[in-house]
Amino acid sequence: MNTKIKRFIISLIPLLAFFVFWEIGSHYAPRGVLKPPSEIVIATLGAMFSPKEQLAYNSLISFGRIGMGFALALVVGNILGFLLGTYFQNLERLFMPFFKICEKLNPFALIPIFMIFFGIDTKEKVAGVFWACVWPIITSTQEAAKSVDPKLLRAARAMGASRAKVFFSVIFPYVLPSIFTGLKLAIRVAFFMIVAAETFGASSGLGWFYTRKQAMYNLNLVYGSVLYITGLAILLNYVFSKLEKHFLAWKEAVFR
């Protein structure tokens, strides 16, 4: 058997054991407190395309909001990170301390402020995702761009490379691994940020779906929402890890 398949099977054992104990324990727990995972999975799958529940539709709404906020943060964060880490390092001392303070602010606590500025609609949700994502992207890109080996830059310039050629041939490949680090941090926060934002004054999305089922005391879909959202977050992280391996295949070949 392939080593990767063995590792995958071994990694599943604790998870399977958890659900087995959960299934058994649910039959001994007080009624209305803990539902068996078998019922939860069936209810969640049924809610995916149910005309009444529309879990799949609400997932698409949340992904659309994440996509807009994340794309905006990707562009703004990387532009600022590259500029402050390369051509405008003199401004780094002025702006980076402020940016790092903004990064430390709890984005979930800022949701009411976003509601005041942008209203209770898609703009508020997108602004929240953008705020949560942009700071780790700026920080990781700026620090990596600043740490580019000056000898590489001097060598490229000595060979007559233009500023654009130096950027795309030396700086960008050097910084790319750190860009992916920032993106993976950002997408994790973005997913949970949108769910939190949709619990306030929303009429669609995963956060709204969860709070609605909570208000109805539909335990199967309350637990199911938590498992479903967690699974989507893991899936997104997996996708970004695969993209990182694809775009950084040259790095593994170089350092092998």
Q: Assign 251 a pLDDT band (cuts: 50, 70, 90).
A: low
Domain extents for the chain?
60-255
Mind listing the pLDDT tens digit for each residue in 146-199?
888 888 878 888 888 787 888 888 888 888 888 888 888 888 888 889 988 998
| Residue 254: pLDDT over 50 | no
Tokens at residue 171, please?
């700086």
Amino acid occupying residue 106: N
The answer to whether 139 and 100 have CB atoms below 8 angstroms apart is yes
| Residue 255: pLDDT over 50 | no
Task: Please choose, from the candidates 164, 166, 136, 165, the residue with its C-alpha nearest in 3D space to the C-alpha of residue 149.
Answer: 166
DSSP codes of every residue in 103-138: HHS-GGGGHHHHHHHH-SSHHHHHHHHHHHHHHHHH
What is the spatial distance between Cα 148 and Cα 140, in angstroms, rounded to a whole number?
13
- The rounded percent of the chain whose pLDDT value lies above 70 is 96
The answer to whether 210 and 227 have CB atoms below 8 angstroms apart is no
Give pTM, 2 decimals.
0.83
| Residue 104: pLDDT over 80 | yes
Q: Assign 211 a pLDDT band (cuts: 50, 70, 90).
A: very high
> From 1.10.3720.10, 3.90.170.10, 3.40.47.10, 3.40.50.300, which CATH number describes the 60-255 domain?
1.10.3720.10
What is the spatial distance between Cα 218 and Cα 46, in angstroms, rounded to a whole number?
14
